[in-house]
Amino acid sequence: MILVNGVACDTVDALDRGLAYGDGVFRTLAIRAARPQCWQRHYRKLAGDCAVLGVPCPAPELLLAELAELAREGADCAAKIIVTRGAGARGYAVPGEVRPMRIVISDALPQHPPRYAESGVALHLCRLRLGHQPALAGIKHLNRLENVLARTEANDAGCAEGLLLDFAGNVIGGTMANVFIAERGVLTTPDLGRCGVAGATRERVIECARAAGIACRVEDIGIERLLAAEEVFLVNSLIGVWQVQELQHKAWGRGELAPRVREWLEREED
Amino acid sequence: MILVNGVACDTVDALDRGLAYGDGVFRTLAIRAARPQCWQRHYRKLAGDCAVLGVPCPAPELLLAELAELAREGADCAAKIIVTRGAGARGYAVPGEVRPMRIVISDALPQHPPRYAESGVALHLCRLRLGHQPALAGIKHLNRLENVLARTEANDAGCAEGLLLDFAGNVIGGTMANVFIAERGVLTTPDLGRCGVAGATRERVIECARAAGIACRVEDIGIERLLAAEEVFLVNSLIGVWQVQELQHKAWGRGELAPRVREWLEREED
C-alpha cells in the first residue's frame, strides 16, 4: 500500500523535488502487531532531518494515522516514510511556498536467512569510500547514490552487507546498517559528524548501553581497530542485530554483547 | 509538457529509484527554433553519465522524437531530460531487471535580467563546501542536495549565482554553472575529478578555445587565484556566458575573452 499525502495512490508529481534533486528525507521502520516500533524515536529523527533541510515535517498524528492504515492491510510489515520539499519549478532554488509531499509505503518485512541473526554475516569491505559533507552528515536524506554503489559491491561479493570507510580511512557503517564494536566490554560506534546515516537503532543502542552501565563511545574507528575488536555487529530497525562473522581474513565467533543488545532491542519502546 | 516514457503524463511511479535514492541522471538544454541545441554533445554526456551508474540510456532517436514533441508546443523552451534506474523494491540493491524511466520536461526559457549577460553578475562565495566523491564526480546525477543548499545561500545573499569551493579550498564551480578564469590570455577551468558537474557548455568552451588557438587548462584553482584573475565567467546551456562582476571585495570590468566565448557559443552546433 502506498499513501501519497494521505491518499492511496501509486504515483507522485513528476516535478517533485525529491525526484529532481533528492530534496527530502526518509525513514524505514517495522510495524509489528499493528504497532509502529519505536515510533517516537523515528518521528524525532524524521523531524530533526527535515529541520536540517528546512522542509516542514508532517504532524505526527497524520503519519501515525497513515501507518495505522498500512497496518490494517498487514499487522506486520516494513513501513517507509518519505518527506520531500514537494513540487517546484525548474532550478535548485527552494520555492517560496513549500508544500511538502509525504509518501507512506508498506512492504513485507525482509526475509533474511535466519542464520544472519543466529550466527552472523559476512561483511564486504567496499572499495567505494564515503565523501565528507558535514552539512548533510547523519541525516537520512534522499541523496543515496553512494549507498546504491556500495550495496552493488556487497551483492557482487556475495555478502549480506558492505562496510564503508570514508576517505580518511575511518569506518562509517554498513550500506543499510550502523556498526558497533566491542572491546573489553566497552562499545564504540563511529562518529557520524562528517558522513554516514545516524540511524534510530544506533541511537537506541547507545542509550540502552548507558542505561545498562556499559560504556558506549562515539568516536573515529580505523579498520585495523575494527578488525582487532572482540565483536563487531550491525544494527538497524528491520534487522535488529547481526553479528559480523567474517571480514577480509578475520573471523569472529559468537560474542557476549551482541545478544545483550538484541535483548534491549526486543523490549517494547513507544 | 511532461512526457514520462514517451507518454504525456504529469506523474511518475512512487517507487521510482530516482525519488527513493536519486538513482539517476539528468540534463538541461535549450530548444531554439525547434532545434535542441548541442544535442549530440548533450546525448553523449547523458549516455556517459548513465554508464557510470550502470543505467541503460534511452536511444537518441527516442529522446530526439520526444524533444521534437515538446518543440511543437513551443519552438523555444528549456528542456530537461531525467533518466532513472526505474522502479524497484525497497532496499539499495539494484533490481535484476532494470527498466529505466525517462522523463522529458519542457519549461519556459529562464528570464534573467538582461544585465546579467550584458554587464555581469555578483557572485556569492558559499559557506557550504563540496565533499569529494570521485566515483560520482563530474556526472549530473540526481543527488543534488549540495546544490540546493548552496543555491539557497546565493539567493539569501541576493546574488545571481553562488561559487562553490571543495573542502580542500579548490574552486569547483557555480551552483548551476561551470566557471572559467582568464589570466594573460589563457583560460583555466577547475578540475572536476573529485566533485562538481562537468557541464556540456564547459566541454564546448574547452574545445572552442583550443580550436581558436587559446590555451585552456583544466586544473585546481584556489580562491586567491580566481580573485586575482583578469576575468571570471560562468557558463551553462541556458545562460550562455555571464561575466562575474563582483565577488567579495573584488570587482571586475568587462573582459575581452568572455565576449569571444559568447560568440563561440552562439554558433550552431549539431
Distance CA(A147)–CA(A128), nearest Å, equals: 9
Q: Do B22 and A21 touch (CB under 8 A)?
A: yes
pLDDT band at B133 (very low <50, low <70, confident <90, very high): very high
Confidence (pLDDT) at B268: 82
Rounded to a whole number, what is the distance in Å from the CA of A186 to chain B's nearest CA?
31
pLDDT of residue B76: 98
State the pLDDT confidence band at B61, using cuts at 50, 70 and 90: very high
Q: In this complex, do B145 and A23 lie within 8 Å of one another by their Cβ atoms? A: yes
CB contact under 8 A, B155 and A82: no
CB contact (8 A) between residue B146 and residue A131: no
Over residues A127-148, mean pLDDT = 98
**Averaged pLDDT score across all residues of chain B:** 97
Q: What are the residue ranges spanned by the domains of chain B? A: 2-107, 114-266
- The reported pLDDT for the residue numbered B17 is 98
Residue of B nearest to A174 (CA): B92
Q: Do A131 and B132 touch (CB under 8 A)?
A: yes
Give the pLDDT of residue B269: 82
Chain B residues 54-113 with CB within 8 Å of chain A? 54, 78, 80, 82, 84, 89-94, 103, 105, 107, 110
User: C-alpha angle with apex A107: A106 to A111, nearest 5 degrees?
Assistant: 150
Q: Does A30 touch chain B (CB under 8 A)?
A: no
pLDDT exceeds cutoff 80 at B270: no
- Residues of B in Cβ contact (< 8 Å) with A21: 22, 142-145, 147-148
Mean pLDDT computed over B90-111: 95
**B114-266, CATH topology level:** D-amino Acid Aminotransferase; Chain A, domain 2 (3.20.10)
Given a cut of 90, whether residue B90 has pLDDT beyond it is no
Q: Which CATH class is domain B2-107?
A: alpha beta
The strand pair at B2-4 and B7-8 is best described as: antiparallel
Q: Which of residues 157-196 of B touch A (CB under 8 A)?
A: 167, 175-176, 195
How confident is residue A269, by pLDDT bands cut at 50, 70 and 90?
Answer: confident
For the cut 90, the answer to whether the pLDDT of residue B12 exceeds it is yes
pLDDT of residue A268: 82
The average pLDDT across B96-103 equals 96
Q: Does the structure show a pLDDT above 90 at B50?
A: yes
Residue of B4, B5, B11, B77 to mutate when probing chain A, most A C-beta within 10 A = B11
Our CA-based measurement puts residue A82 at a distance from the nearest CA of chain B, in whole angstroms, of 8
pLDDT single digits (tens) A43-78? 999 999 999 999 999 999 999 999 999 999 999 999
- Identify which of A110, A135, A176 has the shortest CB distance to residue B149: A135
Mean pLDDT across B150-174: 97
The string of pLDDT tens digits covering residues A153-203 is 999 999 999 999 999 999 999 999 999 999 999 999 999 999 999 999 999
The phi, psi pair for A235, rounded to 5°, reads -135, 145
pLDDT of residue A70: 97
Give the strand pairing for A250-251 and A240-247. antiparallel
Please tell me if residue B7 touches chain A, with a CB cutoff of 8 Å: no
Output the average pLDDT for chain A: 97
- The residue of chain B with its CA nearest to that of A17 is B19
Residue among B103, B131, B141 whose CB faces A132 most closely: B131
- CB-based contact B11 A13, cutoff 8 Å: yes
Average pLDDT over residues B66-73: 97
The arithmetic mean of pLDDT across residues B182-208, rounded, is 98
User: pLDDT tens digits, residue range A15-49?
Assistant: 999 999 999 999 999 999 999 999 999 999 999 99
The three three-digit cell numbers of residue A168, written as one number: 580518511
Average pLDDT over residues A215-244: 98
pLDDT number for residue A90 = 86
